[in-house]
Amino acid sequence: MQTHYRAFISAAVINFSYILSSFLLPAHAQPSYASPADIPAEAFAALPGFVDARLSPSGKKLAYFVELDGEKTFFVQNTNGDNPMQMTPPEKTSYLDFVWANDNVVLLRAILTLNRHVFRGKTTETRIFSLDFENMRLEWLGKPDKRDSGARTSQHERIVDMLPDDPDHILVQLDFELDGKADVYRVNVRNGRRRSAKIGNEGIQNWYADQNSEIRLGYGYRGKKWTVKFRQPGGNWINLNKTEWFQKANIEGFSEDPNTLYVSGTSEYGTKGLYKLDIPSGEVTERLFAHPEVDIDEVALHPITGQVAGVVYTNDYTRVEYFDKELRKVQRIIDKALPDTINTIMNSVAQKDWYLIRAENDRDPGVYYIFDRAKKQIHFMTTVRPQIDPEMMATVNKVSIPTRDGAEIPAYMVLPKGKDHKNLPTIVLPHGGPWARDDASWDYEAQFYASRGYLVLKPNFRGSEGYGYAFENAGNMQWGGLMQDDVTDATRWLIDEGYADPDRICIAGSSYGGYASLMGVIKEPGLYKCAISVNGVTNLVKLKVGDKNTIGGRVWITRMGLEGASDKDVSPYHRAEDISAPVLLMSAVDDARVPYKMSRDLHKKLKKLKKTSQYVKITEGTHYMVTAQSRLTQLKASEEFLAKHIGR
């Protein structure tokens, strides 16, 4: 069976690949380079050339995003090759993702940055648009009603339920009053007309529906306290914070049985597992999944029915474990046919028994296939990044690193191709968040550095998500403390093991990673020869007391800082005199998470202190560097800075 599938894939020239290759770079058109160092920075900075593909419910249309002129553009076409259409994002917005409402309408979610008086600064906003292919009209579903003089634009627009039994309507939550009480509306996806479906409650910013499309759960925060409300099968609303079972479990999804929930809770391994819970008794009735090393990420929904069909978790890669027997069987077939990649079912078409597959690994950013189950064939479609040749990419190895207190942290080494992995110039790359995590999947920034001959280490310090409650909570109030010490210990481990040249190590990162980079050259003089901070937290004091740019509250700041120390003690701006190595500071003007002036202000202070500092202002890219140009600016500035301070 395996030989048959692999042979078919390599030889396939069928309708799907022909359709796409008419206006996308096919996989075999990848440019050829003599070595990874010859690959231009533009190839790494480019947004994915083909991503988030989805077949329509009937399988007659295919929709996806491509990069055009450095921005994510939406494309749709008939699967027979007819009628290709494109839709660029509205002004000042960038597309995030999309979902099919029915065979003629897609719902596009976009993100933008605004400077709103009500928030006294920049905010990150989301919008939901519907696109009707019959008239190619883009309809903003959250547009305020002109007849309501008091209505404002909702900050966050979110689809609550797709109403599978009514393909012309969806449930959307909007907060026109910006008072932290989101209302739910039933919205027509073709014309945007809406009517109220659920009036908001104090402190509830997010609503969720059960499998029957009934609003059953709401959560959010008021001030610094979480609020969670739940409607029992009998119709009564209760505050879950006061129930005994909710102290031990979080709701992950609704069962078809109104008396049963899917919940997550601590497993016997200390990781977050998935369980079934009986609502009337509050008792767990079944353990569905628990991994001995990592948490579940979320439940996996059936691509057709929308019912809970499995669980998503991330060890070295993000994977799906299906409970649904048919999907489990399909996954086994695909994995046997494509044994060298991590294969994800993106969506499916029931009538045709088709499955859209994305395959990827540490060196390959992704390939799309269609699995025709009835014909037992897998058809190649296209690559995600045509500019990238996987054969030129670095391999990624997982390592376990001992820390000074006897613990261990997981980390990923990105090993440059064609180099002896000893005594290399090295970049330590702590992730942002800090409540996030790294894995082994292809990463444009790490792969770029590796192509230039640098060893890259991505440590999952304590405070990172995904490794159990104790591991994550160990980072609370440990900015500049335990989390920083873990990064330091990981760096020293590289030296002790002979991987890193101790005289050529730089620390770099974005957001919290930028903060950790600056604290690295503050706390460990001599260990790092330079530091790079991109949209980094440079002024912890100012960030915590100002800039209220989101509705409801700021619970997350309660985890920021260092227990037993003042915020100034662990704030790079206030510790500028202790910065012991050259720094490169970059920040995006439209960053709504960390004001760009904080990096600029630190640069000015460092110059006054006669320290080596370089500042690069990025005009457009947001906190997350969503444009190709912002990424290119980052990579080129970093390449020049690194070559100057730690060489190749």
| Alpha-carbon gap, residue 593 to 570, rounded angstroms | 19
Whether 8 shows a pLDDT value over 50: the answer reads no
Whether 190 shows a pLDDT value over 60: the answer reads yes
pLDDT (tens digit, 9 = 90+) per residue, 590-619? 998 899 999 999 999 999 999 999 999 999
Report the candidate in 293, 300, 246 with the shortest Cα–Cα distance to residue 272: 293
Torsion of CA 270, 276, 282, 283, to 10 degrees: -70
Q: Mean pLDDT across the chain, nearest whole number?
A: 90
| Alpha-carbon gap, residue 607 to 491, rounded angstroms | 28
Would the pTM count as exceeding 0.95? Answer: no
Q: What CATH code would you report for 394-645?
A: 3.40.50.1820
Mean pLDDT, residues 20-34 taken together: 53
pLDDT at site 39 = 97
How far is C-alpha 18 from the geometric centre of its chain's CA atoms? 31
Whether 147 shows a pLDDT value over 70: the answer reads no
Percent of the chain with pLDDT over 90: 75
Alpha-helical regions (H) of 529-624: 540-545, 597-608
CA angle 354, 358, 364 (to 5 degrees): 150
pLDDT band for position 6 (50/70/90)? very low
Q: Which amino acid, 372?
A: D
Total residue length of the chain: 648
pLDDT at site 217 = 92
**Is residue 404 a contact partner of residue 489, using CB atoms and an 8 Å limit?**
yes
Whether 9 shows a pLDDT value over 90: the answer reads no
Question: Beta strands 121-132 and 105-116: pairing type?
Answer: antiparallel
| Alpha-carbon gap, residue 349 to 304, rounded angstroms | 7
Report the candidate in 436, 445, 390, 460 with the shortest Cα–Cα distance to residue 414: 445
How far is C-alpha 354 from the geometric centre of its chain's CA atoms? 27
Report the candidate in 620, 609, 548 with the shortest Cα–Cα distance to residue 586: 620
pLDDT at site 28 = 44
Whether 150 shows a pLDDT value over 80: the answer reads no
pLDDT at site 29 = 57
pLDDT (tens digit, 9 = 90+) per residue, 473-514? 999 999 999 999 999 999 999 999 999 999 999 999 999 999
For residue 624, list its beta bridge partners: none
Neighbours of 603 (CB within 10 A): 22
Q: Which amino acid, 309?
A: A
3-state secondary structure of 530: strand
Torsion of CA 210, 216, 217, 218, to 10 degrees: 120
> What Å distances lie between residue 561 and 35, 450, 549, CA to CA?
44, 33, 20
**Is residue 237 a contact partner of residue 227, using CB atoms and an 8 Å limit?**
no
| Alpha-carbon gap, residue 102 to 98, rounded angstroms | 12
pLDDT (tens digit, 9 = 90+) per residue, 53-99? 999 999 999 999 998 888 889 999 998 878 889 999 998 899 999 99
Q: Could you say which DSSP state residue 358 is in?
A: E
Percent of the chain with pLDDT over 70: 93
pLDDT (tens digit, 9 = 90+) per residue, 367-392? 999 999 999 999 999 999 999 999 99
Whether 209 shows a pLDDT value over 60: the answer reads yes
